Structure 1
């Protein structure tokens, strides 16, 4: 049954990632991959919330599998982040490539820490 929770979460996360990426990127006329950046940071926040809830004992394993492994696993994308960063560097946009790496790591970790802190605070 656990695999079904992961499967359903991923079936929601993957199209959500694609649609969010397209919607965000359409609004920004820039070389910077704002869509991928947005889904990765939001995914880190959600995963932080789930992790914080689990640590506080408020998230059962089914929620962690569905939301953490399934939804966030399909929503976030390290491969696209890597590809877009490499493409920026190869196209001569080295500043954007470096900014993508630094901003993604800092914002992603920050979002995860905020998610954990919020969940732990709300849980008790």
Structure 2
């Protein structure tokens, strides 16, 4: 028998729900601050996706380096990673904005936005992982 009993699915979903509510509110606030404008770079979506990639990279790397995915670490991963980052970042708005830019005659902007978002997002996640490794070594 495991020394850490497996939480119920309801417990897991409750933690994801709490994080999801917070992430959704944070994304809504970012989109209010930086709304998408016709024919322009979608700043709000770009920022939430890049920040979310960094946070998720740092969070998951930090947690895995601190031990098994049980107890408080598991709950924190569910709240902050699956819930908050999952709701904060947005692939659907990213896809819609690329489509709208293209349909609006801004094909090159749509292509550049897509490429830059993916490349910078991967780089942000990698930087988050590196930051977490350094932070764990210093702790």
TM-score (norm 1): 0.92
User: How big is each residue's C-alpha offset from its partner over 1:27-65, in whole Å with a ceiling of 9 and x where there is no partner?
Assistant: x89611111000000100110111111221268111111
Q: Is the CA contact (8 Å cut-off) linking 1:46 and 1:112 kept in structure 2?
A: yes
Matched position secondary structure for 1:25: coil
Q: Is the CA contact (8 Å cut-off) linking 2:21 and 2:84 kept in structure 1?
A: yes
**Structure 1 residue runs without a partner (length 5+):** none
TM-score (norm 2): 0.82
Structure 1 equivalent of residue 84 of structure 2: 71
| Runs of 4+ residues deviating >4 angstroms | none
The number of residues matched between the two structures is: 123
Q: Which of 10, 13, 22 lines up with 1:3 in the alignment?
A: 13
Q: Please tell me the root mean square deviation across aligned C-alpha atoms, in Å.
A: 1.8
Q: Which of 48, 52, 64 lines up with 1:55 in the alignment?
A: 64
Q: Is the CA contact (8 Å cut-off) linking 1:55 and 1:120 kept in structure 2?
A: no
Give the distance between the partners of 2:34 and 2:55, measured in 1 at CA.
18
**Structure 2 residue runs without a partner (length 5+):** 1-10
* Structure label with greater radius of gyration: 2
Q: Which of 23, 32, 45 lines up with 1:13 in the alignment?
A: 23
Q: Is the CA contact (8 Å cut-off) linking 2:24 and 2:84 kept in structure 1?
A: yes
